[in-house]
Chain A
Amino acid sequence: MNTLQKTPTGINGLDQITLGGLPTGRPTLICGSAGCGKTLFSLEFIIRGAQEYNEPGVFIAFEEKAEELAVNVASLGFDINTLQAEKKIRIDYIHIDRSEIEETGEYDLEGLFIRLNYAIDSIGAKRVVLDTIENLFSGLNNQTILRAELRRLFQWLKDKGVTAIITGERGESSLTRQGLEEYVSDCVILLDHRIINQISTRRLRVVKYRGSVHGTNEYPFLIDEEGISVLPVTSLKLNKPVSSESTSSGIEALDDMLSKKGFFRGSSILVSGTAGTGKTSIAASFAYETCNRGEKCLFFAFEESPQQIIRNMHSIGMDLKTHMDNGLLQFYSSRPTLYGLEMHLVAIHKAIRKFKPSSIVLDPITNLITVGTVSEVKAMLVRLIDFLQEEQITVMFTALTLNTVVNEQTDEGVSSLVDAWLLIKDIELNGERNRGLYIMKSRGMHHSNQVREFIITDKGLDLVDVYLGPDGVLIGSAREAHILLEETGQVLHTHAIGRKDRELLRKRKVLESKIESLKTEFESTEEELNKMYIEEDLKKEIMEQTRQRTTDMRRGNNSNLSPEI
Chain B
Amino acid sequence: MIKDGDLPVDWGKDDDSVYQLRLFVTGTSPVSVRAINNLQIILDTHLKNRFELEIIDVHQQPMLVQSDNVTAVPMLIKKYPAPVRRMVGDMSDTAKVLRGLGLS
Contacts and interface: CB of A to CB of B under 8 A. Distances in A.
A96 interface: yes
A102 B71 contact: no
A100 interface: yes
A111 B61 CA distance: 10
Interface string B54-91: 00001100110110011111111000000111111111
B99 interface: yes
B88 A101 contact: yes
Contacts of A103: 87-89, 93, 96
Contact of B69 (A94, A117, A118): A94
Contacts of B62: 114-115, 117-118
Contact of B93 (A101, A105, A136, A140): A105
A96 B66 contact: no
Nearest to A112: B71
A481 B96 CA distance: 104
Interface string A322-351: 000000000000000000000000000000
Given A114-B59, A114-B62, A104 B69 contact: no
A104 B90 contact: yes
Given A110-B26, A115-B65, A118-B62, A94 B90 contact: no
B92 A105 contact: yes
B84 A100 contact: yes
A95 B69 contact: yes
Residue of A92, A96, A103 most packed against chain B (CB within 10 A): A103
Interface string A105-121: 11111111011011000
Contact of B83 (A96, A100, A118): A100
A104 B69 CA distance: 18
A139 B88 CA distance: 12
A101 B73 CA distance: 12
A111 B58 contact: yes
B21 interface: no
A111 B73 contact: yes
A107 B73 contact: yes
A505 B89 CA distance: 134
Contacts of B38: 105
Nearest to A139: B71
B9 to A, nearest CB: 28
A120 to B, nearest CB: 11
Contact of B73 (A94, A102, A104, A109): A109
B36 interface: no
Contacts of B73: 107-111
A106 B31 contact: yes
Given A101-B87, A111-B70, A118 B92 contact: no
Contacts of B34: 105-106
B66 A115 contact: yes
Contacts, number: 98
Contacts of A105: 34-35, 38, 89-93
A467 to B, nearest CB: 88
B contacts with A: majority SS = mixed
A111 B89 contact: no
A118 B92 CA distance: 30
Nearest to A111: B70
B93 A104 contact: yes
A103 B100 CA distance: 9
Nearest to B42: A104
A299 B88 CA distance: 63
A92 B66 CA distance: 9
A111 B26 CA distance: 8
B26 A104 contact: no
A139 B59 CA distance: 23
Contacts of A94: 69, 71
Given A110-B58, A114-B65, A115-B66, A104 B71 contact: no
Interface string A433-477: 000000000000000000000000000000000000000000000
B100 A104 contact: yes
A117 B61 CA distance: 12
Contacts of A114: 58-59, 62, 65, 70
A108 B31 contact: yes
Contacts of A140: 72, 88
Nearest to B100: A102
Contact of B86 (A100, A108, A117): A100
A104 B34 CA distance: 12
Contacts of A139: 71
Nearest to A149: B72
A100 B63 CA distance: 22
21 contacts: A100-B84, A100-B85, A101-B88, A102-B99, A102-B100, A103-B93, A103-B96, A105-B35, A105-B38, A105-B92, A107-B31, A108-B26, A108-B31, A108-B72, A109-B71, A109-B73, A115-B62, A115-B71, A117-B62, A136-B71, A140-B88
Given A107-B31, A111-B65, 5 more contacts: A103-B93, A105-B35, A110-B26, A118-B63, A136-B71
Interface of B: 24, 26, 31, 34-35, 38, 58-59, 62-63, 65-66, 69-76, 83-93, 96-97, 99-100
What are the 7 closest A-B residue pairs judged by CB atoms, nearest first?
A105-B89, A111-B70, A105-B90, A104-B89, A105-B92, A102-B100, A118-B62
